[in-house]
Structure 1
């Protein structure tokens, strides 16, 4: 283990002093943006915690709400609500651990950096590759959401491939700003859009309740059907892989937990209310995305408002030429995957299971164990914190379970789709 210097630092919001480590390694533990010169053309540390909260909401809530009512249609209102609330609390817990890890290691800017600290270059490359893969597939998922919105607005007047291409081009252009500070006000606009679109969707459902609808408090299903439905709220909270990037561009990283509270509080309440209202008025016939279950005029209004939210992307530090090229490559790959792979929607589930399960849930346990071991006396530090150790292990196991079960369900869906002949051809409308 490299030599570690420790210094006392106060962390706002918890009223206690924590040991922050400064590792003297080849990579260094200086703040990732600490060396920018005063006359630098690009300023990175510009975000307040309020705008970080808005960007988190824009990135994570997004179209995650649209699949939640279908979860209630499979397992019932009560189990689904319990699950949504539990996952919101669990997501806040893992966010706390990730934020602590970032504050303890200011050089961390991505999951790859965190992996390097915990396991060296190999783990660092694994987590970096996973982040890139998951980000590209998440972009592809947004492209599909954009295509669904445009198809609804155009009454299916254009080929879906063309609609995906249009949305991909707009996504590419919106991703060109190189710092999140350039998107801070856009984050406010985007968060407002997803909130308003949800309200419009609920109003549409309430004004046009489905006659003879079936609403269940609890329902029994096979493990496969139940877990398939459960993946909707599980991955609706996915997005923790963005935390390190967002915190790196904060004026005061110590305020990051305030943003996490806002994110999880908003997401949990909004998810619960939206899912229940849509399900109660539509019943077990509710589709995913839920807006497709609305009458045409209401569906168009809700999708039109939500459309802008689907364009929020991520950013990093590179030269302009390299940055534009990489944005174009990422958008192009996402477009090709979305239209060339008939099973792309199923592959999104696989990538979410393989990576988001760990980035949002499981890795937090490893982060806690790593820092407790190295900052609090090794094995003795772990033994002195039995509750934290148990929670860390359970967090790791939960990530592993979601990863394995989610992958199994996604693979089985692909097998079933081919057996039922519902898999289309590449590049078809």
Structure 2
């Protein structure tokens, strides 16, 4: 919001929310039309062969490892805020990694599924605390205590290309992880009900994101606050990182042990592979979190490198694969066809432009001291 302004930010939240909802609907329809497709990689193979499958699978793993890394950064910020930076940030992040990796090592998703409710309540309560708290103060807590100050609230902002792309990718990725919905379809009593669940979920996410972000931006502007709500939200941050890591590890696990007895049996190979993947990918998440220790940049990088091709470009391709004859149909069908064709270069533009923007912002952050160094012990809350 602070980069795009209230109007630009609100339009971005609504626009990406609606587009990601629609592309998720395309995923669900494609999966129901091709029942042998159980993941986004399977869909990529259906339309482009094994090379496309490997690319999509790699992007899927990278995306959820980066998401897990952003969760580790969030937990380290929370622990720093609650303890007033009582220990080195790297140690807090390492502790978070151990907890996240250990929790993600529970094999069956349904065994940790109940954590999603605890995580949802935790995060939602934490955000509500912040939203309510900021409206009761005369000025933001991070602003100068006395004298005049610039709130930094703008209806329309004029960011640089790099800052604008980082902000856009950050908003985009908030609702772009719809590829994780696909395994759920197989477990539904009636897969045709996927749209109902999708619309309910995405409506709540988009409405909450829009309302909460506008309220916080209106009352805090450019001044970030030290979230006293971290005590409430810490559970949600851990759970979200755990789920992302579990999804990535499970995909790799199935790929490695597919067509072997070790996939289902409790053999030594089974457990060594599973724990090696959860803790190995957890270690990778930790390294990425400490190399790019700013939450927003990790999130934006996830959106540009991974979810732009997976949730935008590939989805245009999937739709065209099932509706290729619309190219020669009525005027309306041709217009719809070209809309989906446009999604392919749109995703590629976000991939290139967003990655460029994140790299530029990271370089600038290192240059101006916002990021001290990789694996720095410095406080990452900006409050001490």
Classify the TM-score, shorter chain: 0.7 to 0.9
Q: For the Cα contact (< 8 Å) 1:362–1:398, is it kept in 2?
A: yes
> Partner of 2:303 in structure 1?
352
Residue of 366, 375, 381 corresponding to 1:427: 375
Of 135-144 and 176-185, deviating more is 176-185
Alignment of 1:230-249 (within 5 A): 230-249=168-187
Q: For the Cα contact (< 8 Å) 1:193–1:308, is it kept in 2?
A: no
> Partner of 1:323 in structure 2?
274
Shift of 1:382: 9.2
> Partner of 1:224 in structure 2?
162
Distance in 1 separating the partners of 2:4 and 2:326: 44
> Partner of 1:134 in structure 2?
63
Q: For the Cα contact (< 8 Å) 2:100–2:239, is it kept in 1?
A: no
Alignment of 1:125-274 (within 5 A): 125-210=54-139, 213-274=151-212
Distance in 2 separating the partners of 1:222 and 1:415: 15
Alignment of 1:303-342 (within 5 A): 303-304=233-234, 306-313=236-243, 314-315=246-247, 316=250, 317=254, 318-319=263-264, 320-321=270-271, 322-339=273-290
Matched, 1:394 2:345: no
Distance in 2 separating the partners of 1:341 and 1:233: 18
Alignment of 1:57-136 (within 5 A): 71=1, 73-136=2-65
> Partner of 2:219 in structure 1?
281
Residue by residue, what CA displacement relative to the aligned partner does 1:52-98 show, whole Å, maximum 9, x if unpaired? Answer: xxxxxxxxxxxxxxxxxxx2x22221221122112111111111101
Call closer, same or farther: CA 1:341–1:261 in 2, change over 3 Å: closer
Q: For the Cα contact (< 8 Å) 2:4–2:159, is it kept in 1?
A: yes
Q: For the Cα contact (< 8 Å) 2:118–2:236, is it kept in 1?
A: no
Distance in 1 separating the partners of 2:113 and 2:95: 24
SS state of the match for residue 425, structure 1?
coil
SS state of the match for residue 221, structure 2?
helix
> Partner of 1:55 in structure 2?
none
Shift of 1:410: 1.3
Of 385-394 and 123-132, deviating more is 385-394
TM-align CA RMSD? 2.6
Shift of 1:126: 0.8
> Partner of 2:364 in structure 1?
416
TM-score, length-scaled by structure 2: 0.82
Number of positions where the alignment pairs a residue of Structure 1 with one of Structure 2: 347
Any unmatched runs of 5+ in structure 2? 141-148, 255-262, 265-269, 378-384
Call closer, same or farther: CA 1:348–1:308 in 2, change over 3 Å: closer
SS state of the match for residue 275, structure 2?
helix
Any unmatched runs of 5+ in structure 1? 1-70, 288-292
Distance in 2 separating the partners of 1:282 and 1:190: 26
Call closer, same or farther: CA 1:158–1:228 in 2, change over 3 Å: same
Of 260-269 and 383-392, deviating more is 383-392
Q: Which has the higher contact order (CA 8 A, sep 6+)?
A: 2
Distance in 2 separating the partners of 1:109 and 1:392: 22
Shift of 1:122: 0.8
Distance in 2 separating the partners of 1:403 and 1:104: 28
Call closer, same or farther: CA 1:214–1:155 in 2, change over 3 Å: same
Call closer, same or farther: CA 1:209–1:177 in 2, change over 3 Å: farther
Call closer, same or farther: CA 1:389–1:84 in 2, change over 3 Å: same
Distance in 2 separating the partners of 1:427 and 1:224: 25
Of 382-391 and 81-90, deviating more is 382-391
Distance in 1 separating the partners of 2:25 and 2:281: 30
Shift of 1:381: 6.3
> Partner of 2:352 in structure 1?
404
Q: For the Cα contact (< 8 Å) 1:193–1:309, is it kept in 2?
A: no
